[in-house]
Amino acid sequence: MKKLQTVTLGCSKNKVDTEHILSQVEDLYEIVPEGEDIPVDVLLINTCGFIGDAKEESVQTVLEAVDRKNRGEVGKVVVFGCLSQRYADELPGLIPEVDAWFGAREFDPVIKELGSEPSESKRSERYLTTPSHYAYIKIAEGCNRTCSYCAIPIITGPYKSRSIEDIEDEVKYLVSTGVKEFQVIAQDLSFYGLDNYKRLALPELIKRLSDIKGVEWLRLHYAYPTQFPYEILDVIKERENVCNYLD
């Protein structure tokens, strides 16, 4: 069986993206843990383009992968994510040794490049790269805040909430694999639901997730103070499996 290794840079949201892709191709490859220094057939790099240091790290990682390819330690280098989304026109010409470039949300094309057809039945599945007892749950993409220091809206576009049912399905799947602790993430948790449901729906979402049997901890990350859903404080107080924590 061919060997596939991933390198995920940047935030935990990127880690979730990598895990979704791996779940679609795990039957075709032996998944080599990140950082393990052995020859692989494919090296998949999920890049970050957030700030200067992150961009520099992503470029350096790609160049190191190309060096490994030139030494015969890697068969194919495939790059996707925020950096290749932001600089889609420049990067292929600057680093032509990369076999394929994809944007931040081009998951299906990446899956096809890896030799598989995207399966709708696996949309809720993940190949965890975290310790088996916890996982990150991404509830939205993008951001509507236009903070001067942040490039996220430029790269990933406006805020787009996932449906509550879709998130529930993913949590139920992960519980079935043994996950007990869930880190709830988005660029901005506070805004969740305003686009889909025309209301601040984070409290409803967390209530429903906390009702899922097997969910022992829910921890909330990255809430913005503007348009904050204060009802979530009551949920934190009332539900024993929702941590007394807010990032």
Q: How many residues can be counted in the chain?
A: 247
**Segment 61-118, tens digit of pLDDT:** 999 999 999 999 999 999 999 999 999 999 999 999 999 999 998 999 999 999 999 9
pLDDT beyond 90 at 54? no
Whose CA is closest to 45, among 20, 14, 75, 72?
A: 14
Look up tokens 């909330």; give the residue: 220
Residue 204: per-residue pLDDT: 98
pLDDT over threshold 90, residue 31? yes
Question: Who's near 108: CB < 8 A, 6+ residues apart?
Answer: 118
129-175 pLDDT per residue, tens: 999 999 999 999 999 888 888 888 888 889 999 999 999 999 999 99
What single DSSP character describes residue 204?
A: H
Range 43-60 average pLDDT? 91
Ramachandran sector of residue 126 (left: φ over 0; alpha: ψ -120 to 50; beta: rest): beta
Output DSSP code: residue 121: G
Residues 6 or more apart from 194 whose CB is under 8 A from it? Answer: 159, 161, 200, 201, 227
| Secondary structure class of 201 (helix, strand, coil) | coil
pLDDT for 122 equals 93
Mean pLDDT for the stretch of residues 235-247? 95
**Pairing mode, strands 217-220 and 242-246:** parallel
The predicted pLDDT at position 50 comes to 80
**Per the structure block, which two tokens stand in for 132?**
């088996």
Q: For the chain, how big is the Rg over CA atoms in Å?
A: 19
Distances (CA, A) of 236 to 138, 163, 218, 229: 19, 21, 9, 12
14 phi and psi angles, rounded to 5 deg: -65, -35
Q: Give the per-residue pLDDT at 28.
A: 96
Instruction: Find the mean pLDDT for residues 13-23.
Output: 97
How far is the C-alpha of 104 from the C-alpha of 79, rounded, in Å?
Answer: 10
Which tens digits make up the pLDDT trace of 176-220? Answer: 999 999 999 999 999 999 999 999 999 999 999 999 999 999 999
pTM reported for the whole predicted model: 0.94
Cα gap 155→150, rounded to integer Å: 10
pLDDT of residue 228 exceeding 90, the answer is yes
In the sheet where 2-8 sits, what is the strand order? Answer: 29-32, 2-8, 40-47, 74-81, 100-101
Backbone angles phi, psi at 226, to 5 degrees: -75, 135
What pLDDT does 147 receive?
A: 84
pLDDT at residue number 51: 81
